[in-house]
Amino acid sequence: MATRELSRREAVAWRTAVVVAVFGGWMLASYLNPDVRFVFGDPILVFVQLVDWFREGSIFHHLYLTVAEAMLGFGFGAVLGIMVGLLFLFVPFLRNLFDPLLAILAVVPRIVLAPMFMIWFGLGIVSKAALVTLIVFFIVYFNVEAGLRSVQGVLIDRARLMGASRWALVQEIYLPASLVWLLSSLKVSIGFAFLGAIVAEYLGATAGIGSLIAFAQSQNDPNAVMAGLSVVFLVVVPLDQLLTQIERRTAAWRG
C-alpha cells in the first residue's frame, strides 16, 4: 500500500515537473526569441487573456457550445459504434456487406467532410455534433469489433449448450470481454471529439472555442489563440484522467 502511494506521489511529482519545465521553457524562449512570441504567444499575456475571458464571462458561451458539440457527438458516436459492432457480430451477412465500405471510409480524414456537414446541417451545433459522431464512431466500432472477436469460440459454444440466449451471451460474455477495448477507445475518442468540434468551428461557426481561435488568428493574436487552446486543455485533461481511472479499475477488476 505504501509502495503504491509512493508511486502515485512520484507520478504526480514527475508530471508536475514536466509541466513546470515546459512552461518555464516556453517563457524563456518567448523572451529570448521574438519569433517564438509571434508563433506561440507570451505565456504571461496568455494567462492575462484567460483571466479577462473568465472575469468578463465571455468565454462561457463559447465553451458551452464546444463542450455540447463534443459530448453529444461523443455519446452518439460511442453508442452507435457499440450497437453496430454487436449487430455485425450476430448478423455476419451485414458485416460482410458493409465491412469493406467502413474500411474505406475509415481511411478518409473525417475533417474534410466538415464543409459538407455544414452544407447539409448548417453552421449550428448539429453539423459539429454530426462530424464528431462520425469521428468517434469509427474509433469505438473498430475497437469494440476487435474486443468481440477476441472472445474464444469454445466459451460461446458451451454457453449455447447451456441454453444461453443471445442477450445472455452479450451480457455475460461479449460485453465483459470487450469492456477494456471499449474503455480504451473512449479514452482515445474524448480528445478527438473536442478536436473535431474545434476544427469544425474553426472552419465555419459564429460561436465556440474554434471560432474564437479563428477570430484571434485573423487578428494576428497568438496569445488569444493559445488561450483558446488552453481552455480546451483544462476541460479535456480531467475527462481523460477520469476515463483513465475507470480503465485501470476495470482492468484490475477483470484481472
Overall domain count for the chain: 2
Residues 108 and 155 both lie in one domain? yes
Residues 31 and 71 both lie in one domain? no
Whole-angstrom distance, CA of residue 9 vs CA of residue 175? 34
At residue 84's C-alpha, the angle toward residues 108 and 203, to 5°, is 35
Residues 186 and 159 both lie in one domain? yes
At residue 1's C-alpha, the angle toward residues 249 and 10, to 5°, is 80
Q: What is the pLDDT of residue 1?
A: 47
Residues 148 and 174 both lie in one domain? yes
- Neighbour-count burial for 109-124, b at 16+ CB within 10 Å, e otherwise: ebeebbeebbeeeebe
Question: What's this model's pTM, rounded to 2 decimal places?
Answer: 0.79
Q: What is the pLDDT along the chain (255 residues), one digit of tens a residue?
A: 445 554 667 767 777 788 788 878 877 887 777 777 777 788 888 888 889 989 988 889 999 999 999 999 999 999 999 888 888 877 878 888 888 888 887 777 777 788 888 888 888 888 899 999 999 999 998 888 887 776 656 556 566 666 666 666 666 666 776 777 788 888 888 888 998 899 888 888 888 888 888 988 888 888 888 898 888 888 888 888 888 887 777 666 655
Residues 17 and 100 both lie in one domain? no
Q: What is the pLDDT of residue 76?
A: 94
Residues 66 and 146 both lie in one domain? yes
Residues 198 and 238 both lie in one domain? yes
3-class SS at 210? helix
* Angle at which helices 125-149 and 175-203 cross, to 10°: 150
Q: What is the pLDDT of residue 155?
A: 59
Residues 199 and 146 both lie in one domain? yes
Q: Where in the sequence is the domain holding 21, given as residue range(s)? A: 1-35
